[in-house]
A and B are shown apart, each in its own frame.
Chain A
Amino acid sequence: MSSAHANEHEHAHHFRDAEHQFQTNKQGMWLFLLQEVLFFAPLFVGYIIFKFIYFDSFHYASKQLDWVLGSVNTVILIVSSFTVARAISSAQRGNQTGVIENLVFTLICGLGFMAVKAIEYSHKIHDGLLPGPLFTNTAMLEVAPEAPLFFTFYFCMTGLHALHVVGGLVVFVWLIKRAKRGEFGPGYYTPLELTGLYWHFVDLVWIFLFPLLYLVG
């Protein structure tokens, strides 16, 4: 399915031509993202419901999150979404070094996001804010008895999102290798396009997570 090289119009036997294959693959990715939305949905719904039930605890616990670090990560992800789009347009214009540069920059952004995430997580662990029975911050329990549930959702939601980021980073490493072999060009850039769609989605999930967890008291 995917051993085609730049400008060669190879395609699998059940497609009419390379364009047909490209369009089908793209639709497949959109459908995949559609199910991803529903995959995240129970966490969002659960969080909102519990926020109503235990409003005071969730309000208090929410204020413990570092909105500055969250904002930094938001900016990092938006920039990386921009550079992945530039990687695609570089491929469309046949600019090989542009593809590689933009992919590497996107990869660095992703790593930066994970580094900030690691700092945040280690602060939470240090403060004893792990979910459920691992929650050891007794001082907070007195003020906000349902805070452990908040941090359960915090870790589940940001954790699932972080898993998606890591998945994307693995793909970017693979794409950089292929780009270095000169496989992408105006005639063939399907993996770039699909990964780009995926990356925008990961970005978008964060755009909803950030205000919900960090900002809306």
Chain B
Amino acid sequence: MEHTSPEGTNYINYPKGLMSWIVTLDHKRIGMMYFFTVLFFFLIGGLFALGIRLELFEPGGQFMTADTYNRFFTYHGTIMVFLVIIPMIPAAMGNFILPLQLGAKDVAFPRLNLASYYIFLFGAIVAFATLFFGGVDTGWTFYTPYSTNTSSAAGMMLTAAFILGFSSIFTGLNFVATIHKLRAPGQTWMRLPLFCWALYATSIIQLLATPVLALTLMLVAIEKVSGVGIFDPALGGDPVLFQHFFWFYSHPAVYIMVLPALGVINEVVPVFARRPIFAYKAMAAALFGIALVAFIVWGHHMFTSGQTVLTNFVFSLITMFVAVPTGIKVFSWLATMYKGNIQFYAPMLYFFAFMFVFVIGGLTGVVLATLGADIHFHDTYYVVAHFHYVMVGGTLMAFMAAIHYWFPKFFGRMYSEAWAKISWLFIFIGFNLTFFPQFFLGFQGMPRRYYNYLPDYTFLNQLSTIGSFLVGLGFFIAAFYLGHALFRGKKAPDNPWRALTLEWQTSSPPPLENFRYEPVVTHGPYDYGPERG
């Protein structure tokens, strides 16, 4: 294994050759492989979303049958959840940034890291292969007994999710060990950047929740193949048990999606406000508060599944507690900006977009946690709008912030700030136009996952469809100028944002082993002040 790389080389051009990428153990290369793979899946998942919106432009069938529509929303959901949002920030961004922020040369287990990537790729191939075996029409939740009885390729998709789960588990395992064992001298726990804290909290969830899903999906697959009755009531099984197991993973999974996003925002705000983060310790603790509560609120997905009133009440109450650590974070970001010297670069603009939509998403979450309201809103577009506001509005906006923030570090180039602002405008306005009307649709009772609707809902659906194409256009512009910057962009300095975290103290792009000299940490990650500002 190389111990030094020649002066002037970086991780992209040294070592050379396609083979050196395919079998690389370098966390930066693996991160980039994840990054481009995830972007490709994001494109496909996005196209499925546009297909859904086109179909819903008018009531009645437009250009697909009801069965095709079921497959469209299933693929949109499955791809976006398992192949895009879950690996998007931890596996792609985290892989690249985490060891750099710790001042380490690599993650704790580089081979396991590479294995995670190939397991991910293999799982994705199995997932897409279902398209050639009749497709899947269960929705991404695979509820039994439909998933065990449908003639579609649900069994294969379950297998894919099982495989993808282990990719996620191994990434989480790797990150926890990395954070514990590979911090640079002087990198104490209280000097850890909050992005690392966020990845830590995320990894714990990945490690503890994903195996439950994996085994549950295996049981569904066994039931589907051999006809034993674990979940199918017709065979003596219990379908609600499946829902408990499923949401025991899939609710924490929501926080696998959103915690890394909060971590990104934690990095962006102090840098572009030129202020130390407000209440660092509370911010770190809040991440773990969210992760902890995440494990004990799954029942709020099942208010209408026949739980007892007492169970519903308890789950409703605990769910409201999520708002406490989340509120700490939101108010801390505001306090961080107070009297700051705010710079309106693209990452900061995406922070504002994030803040706007995340707060709406969060508050409607409290509405949904309220028992009486949820009975009405359950399985309507209100829920669809809510989780898109949190997952797309929260995670995707943060992902865009992260792409722009770390783009100079990833590729050593600067993107076009002007084009970034134009694309931001399309994405932000388009997003709200797409999903805000869906709150009203849900309020008026339009059920989710239906291929047809009453004519009364037409106007709001058309607004939503127009919005979705604005978002698509925004991402198209982003792909264009970022792709251009990748090859033709201005050379980036090592630290264009004058940030204090360690990833900015090495060259852009970083060399093979990250730092030419072993870094020593002597100050906190956000010690911006008058003298450093």
Q: State the A residues within 8 Å of B (CB).
A: 1, 12-15, 20, 23-25, 27-28, 31-32, 34-36, 38-43, 45-46, 49-50, 53-54, 131-134, 146, 148-149, 152, 156
Contact = CB atoms under 8 A, between A and B. Distances in A.
Contact of B211 (A1, A20, A38, A131): A38
A41 B212 contact: yes
B226 A132 contact: yes
Contacts of B209: 38
Could you say which of B210, B228, B238 has the most chain A C-beta atoms within 10 Å of its C-beta?
Answer: B228
Given A20-B181, A35-B211, A42 B226 contact: no
B182 A42 contact: no
B181 A23 contact: yes
B241 A27 contact: no
Contact of B177 (A28, A42, A148, A152): A28
Nearest to B518: A16
Interface residues of B, number: 43
Interface stretch (B68-76, B101-109, B347-355, B379-387): B101-109
Contact of B215 (A31, A42, A134): A42
B513 interface: yes
Given A12-B110, A27-B177, A149-B237, 8 more contacts: A27-B181, A28-B108, A28-B177, A41-B211, A46-B241, A49-B238, A49-B241, A133-B226
Nearest to A133: B227
B212 A38 contact: yes
Could you say which of A20, A42, A146 has the most chain B C-beta atoms within 10 Å of its C-beta?
Answer: A42
A78 B294 CA distance: 37
B215 A39 contact: yes
Given A14-B106, A41-B212, A24 B207 contact: no
Contacts of B111: 1
Contacts of B223: 132
B398 to A, nearest CB: 26
Contact of B208 (A13, A38, A46, A50): A38
Contacts, number: 107
B219 interface: yes
B104 A14 contact: yes
Contacts of B229: 132, 148-149, 152
Contact of A35 (B208, B227, B230, B235): B208
Nearest to B226: A132
Could you say which of A1, A34, A41, A152 has the most chain B C-beta atoms within 10 Å of its C-beta?
Answer: A152
A13 B214 contact: no
Interface in B13-32: none
Contact of B226 (A15, A28, A34, A131): A131
Contacts of B212: 38-39, 41-42
A39 B182 CA distance: 28
Given A41-B212, A42-B219, A152-B228, A31 B181 contact: no
A36 B211 contact: yes
Contacts of B211: 35-36, 38-39, 41
Contacts of B173: 28, 31-32, 35
Contacts of A45: 245
Interface in B470-514: 513
**6 tightest CB-CB pairs across the interface, nearest first?**
A132-B228, A39-B211, A14-B105, A14-B106, A38-B211, A24-B181
B26 to A, nearest CB: 10
B216 interface: yes
A73 B469 CA distance: 63
Contacts of B219: 42-43, 46, 156
Contacts of A34: 207-208
Contact of B105 (A13, A27, A39): A13
Contact of B228 (A12, A25, A35, A148): A148
Contact of A12 (B1, B176, B235): B1
Given A23-B181, A31-B173, A38-B211, A13 B513 contact: yes
A154 B26 CA distance: 44
A131 B180 contact: no
